[in-house]
Amino acid sequence: MCRSTKTSSTRGPTGRPPGTTCAARTPRVTSPPLTPRWSSTPAAACSKTAGTTRQKRPCAAMASRWCATPKPPRTEPRAEAAAGHPPATRTVSPFCGAQTGAVFVHTPSSDPMTLRVRFAPSPTGHLHIGGARTALSNYLEARREGGAFVLRIEDTDPERSKKEHEEQILRDLAWLGLRWTEGPDVGGPFGPYRQSERYDRYRAVAMDLLARGLAYRCNATPEELDQMRAEQSAKGEDPRYDRRNRDKDLGPDCGPHAIRVKMPIEGLTVIDDLIKGRIEIRNELLDDLVILRTDGTPTYNFVVVVDDHDMGINLVARGDDHINNTPKQIHIYHALGAEVPRFAHLPMILGPDGSRLSKRHGHTSLGQYRDMGIVPEAMLNYLARLGWSHGDQEVFTEAELIEHFRLSDVGSSGARWDMDKLEWLNQTWIQSFASAELVERALPFLEAEGYVTAGLGARLPAIIGAFQKRSRTLVELAKQARFFFIDDAELSWDEAAVAKHLKPEAGALLSALADRLEAEPTWEEPALTAVVDALLAERGAKMGKLAQPVRVALTGQGVGPGVYEMLLGLGKEISVRRLRAGAARAT
RNA sequence: GACCCCAUCGUCUAACGGUCAGGACUCCGGAUUUUCAUUCCGGCAACACGGGUUCGAUUCCCGUUGGGGUCGCCA
């Protein structure tokens, strides 16, 4: 029997169940949900059709929305980007073909489609760096193609979803520099963008599936199912739903029940993944998954498909831990009569030991890296380079990433998190900042150390500049700058350095230097250099003779910034005072 | 266990049948220097294994091993 015959008879003229307001939700880009995207009649759909290759091209009209953002110059849409996309997904025997063994290939819309991608975090915690990577990949793809980047909140878990998490995730994404064209905060034509606000829609779709015989009621209790799985395991079988209620056609009066969707029982589902290539899964392995729980709330695999369809998402890029969900989702698309998007499954980010990155490996949330003084440019750069490369280039600006990054060029193997490389990139980026830029970035970290940064005038950029080439992170910068901000009495003294460099003859030099500097009206590098050079010339000494004693006197330590950097950062008063104190110590 | 994914220096990666297997991080030397850092030069270091296919495999195929992921009325 060809199931879609029944489908067509139950769908009705509008293809929409009563009470569904989906048309209002999908003003454009997609046809109304529940209307088959595949062309012609159900009978035609059941017949064998040839594979088709979807063509996609950048939409110039959509590019303007990105141009509204001030940042980097947009690169030209690339003509070659349009070519060569593989067929989205090919399914062998979904509902209609399953029973006949026919090969079914859905026919994509012929409309030139604007790329629409999404990032759908669940607000149950902070933004994980894996999530950040996924978000970035989607974002770059959208930017290059002039498409839409949709942010959707997957808050169907009322227990764990928290508003403050959602807000924090949005802030973290913004910190990274990602900007979305549609989302819960900015709105958009496909809202609402929080799943908790779309429950009516999910229920309506589920009821429609039920009415069309593509889903069914299952009154097995979770306890019964647990027992079933336990028995299966005991017998050495794979634990899975035994389809016990699939063909019973249970009515609404069957007691507390969930709604399950019917998966095909035989055949093959094929995913043509942008990153992984061809993936085949035997349909017999697919469980009839619950789409509506007993309490009426929808489940993840269901809402994802409904939303992605409603929102016109045509490329889904996510972690490869979702690969096993994909065939089930594809069949839900088919049940909805919806076009299946292309998929790109990004490999996982692994911990340094090769296992899945977790808290025990250290920091896993984006916010923690921000707090440790990683700049967003470096994080963006590092995240993009994980699993992807462009020639021998290591440092990329956002604009360069938008131009060169492609999901299809991402490697298919997992990548380990390498803090050393991240810090190296961070240092490289810190070195690239203009003075005022670095000051602005470093200020919060200085304040976090408890330093008073107000009223420093030109000393502040001098202090921060002194560490621009000496810091791998902004926290490191702030900690190194400590001697600039504390009272003389608080200086910590490296006794070995003191013993080595603050000897009597050095004391005389320091004392003389202090006198001359005190008399110097111009506290700028050329003037200071002149003072030091003159002193050195008179004494017939080299800089090497003076630098270390000065450094120890000024900082208490044997290592630190250059002499003039210290002098400029400290200012005249403190410099002279510390030099005198150092001279006194040296006698 | 079943299913799915993956496999080049320690790490991130390049190579798209013929290369002295390239670059970057880390590490180790050296140069510059005012200590440290920066910068510049140099060095160590890899095709997991076994079968095919081929005149020729790191590249293609199969298997083994190893690693990762998924097996919920979580997302």
Residue A290, nucleotide of least CA–C1' distance:
B73
Q: For the segment A181-198, what is each residue's pLDDT rounded down to a tens digit?
A: 999 999 999 989 999 999
pLDDT at position A525: 94
pLDDT confidence band for A113 (50 / 70 / 90): low
Largest CA distance in chain A: 105
Asked if residue A129 lies in contact with residue A349, where contact means CB atoms within 8 angstroms, the answer is: yes
Q: For the segment A272-296, what is each residue's pLDDT rounded down to a tens digit?
A: 999 999 999 999 999 999 999 999 9
Q: For the segment A372-397, what is each residue's pLDDT rounded down to a tens digit?
A: 999 999 999 999 999 999 999 999 99
Residue A551, nucleotide of least CA–C1' distance:
B35
Query: What b-and-e string marks burial along A547-557, b requiring 16 or more CB atoms within 10 Å of the CB?
Result: ebbbbbbbbbb
Compute CA distances A164 → A53, A123, A126, A170, A535, whole Å.
Answer: 43, 8, 9, 10, 61
d(CA A555, CA A575): 10
Asked if residue A341 lies in contact with residue A308, where contact means CB atoms within 8 angstroms, the answer is: yes
d(CA A204, CA A209): 9
What does DSSP say about strands A342-346 and A315-319: parallel, antiparallel, or unpaired?
Answer: parallel
d(CA A122, CA A161): 7
Helix (H, G, I), strand (E, B) or coil at A449: coil
Give every CB contact of residue A181 below 8 A, 6+ residues apart in sequence.
A65, A66, A142, A148, A149, A150, A188
Measuring alpha carbon to C1', the residue closest to nucleotide B13 is A389
Mean pLDDT computed over A422-444: 97
pLDDT at position A345 over 80: yes
Active-site positions of A read: 359
CA/C1' separation A393–B23 (Å)? 8
Q: For the segment A135-180, what is each residue's pLDDT rounded down to a tens digit?
A: 999 999 999 999 999 999 999 887 889 999 999 999 999 999 999 9
Asked if residue A269 lies in contact with residue A327, where contact means CB atoms within 8 angstroms, the answer is: yes
pLDDT at position A61: 36
Measuring alpha carbon to C1', the residue closest to nucleotide B70 is A324
Residue type present at position A285: L
Give every CB contact of residue A416 below 8 A, 6+ residues apart in sequence.
A349, A350, A351, A352, A353, A354
**Closest Cα to residue A133, out of A335, A401, A393, A528?**
A401
pLDDT at position A587: 75
DSSP A187-238: B-TT---BGGG-HHHHHHHHHHHHHTTSEEEE---HHHHHHHHHHHHHTTPP
Residue type present at position A11: R
The two tokens of residue A210 are 């039920």
pLDDT at position A127 over 60: yes
**Lowest-pLDDT range, A51-60, A416-425, A427-436, A446-455?**
A51-60
Mean pLDDT of chain A: 83
pLDDT at position A557: 96
pLDDT at position A60 over 60: no
pLDDT at position A568 over 90: yes
pLDDT at position A112: 52
Compute CA distances A176 → A48, A129, A229, whole Å.
Answer: 47, 11, 44
pLDDT confidence band for A523 (50 / 70 / 90): very high
- ipTM above threshold 0.90: yes
CA/C1' separation A157–B74 (Å)? 8
Query: What b-and-e string marks burial along A354-371, b requiring 16 or more CB atoms within 10 Å of the CB?
Result: eeebeeebebbbbbebbb
d(CA A455, CA A121): 43
pLDDT at position A18: 27
Only one residue has tokens 């005389």, namely A508
pLDDT at position A94 over 60: no
Residue A277, nucleotide of least CA–C1' distance:
B5
pLDDT at position A529: 95
d(CA A540, CA A7): 99
pLDDT confidence band for A8 (50 / 70 / 90): very low
pLDDT at position A58 over 60: no
Measuring alpha carbon to C1', the residue closest to nucleotide B67 is A354
Q: For the segment A13-35, what is each residue's pLDDT rounded down to a tens digit?
A: 222 222 232 322 322 233 233 33
pLDDT at position A359: 86
pLDDT at position A52 over 90: no
Residue type present at position A457: G
Residue A345, nucleotide of least CA–C1' distance:
B5
pLDDT at position A402: 97
Only one residue has tokens 């911990």, namely A351
* Whether CATH 3.40.50.1100 fits A432-585: no
pLDDT confidence band for A65 (50 / 70 / 90): low
CA/C1' separation A416–B7 (Å)? 14
Q: List the nucleotides on chain B closer than 7 A to a protein CB.
A: 1-8, 10-14, 22-26, 33-39, 67-75
CA/C1' separation A98–B51 (Å)? 38
CA/C1' separation A366–B58 (Å)? 36
Helix (H, G, I), strand (E, B) or coil at A261: strand
pLDDT at position A26: 29
pLDDT at position A206 over 90: yes
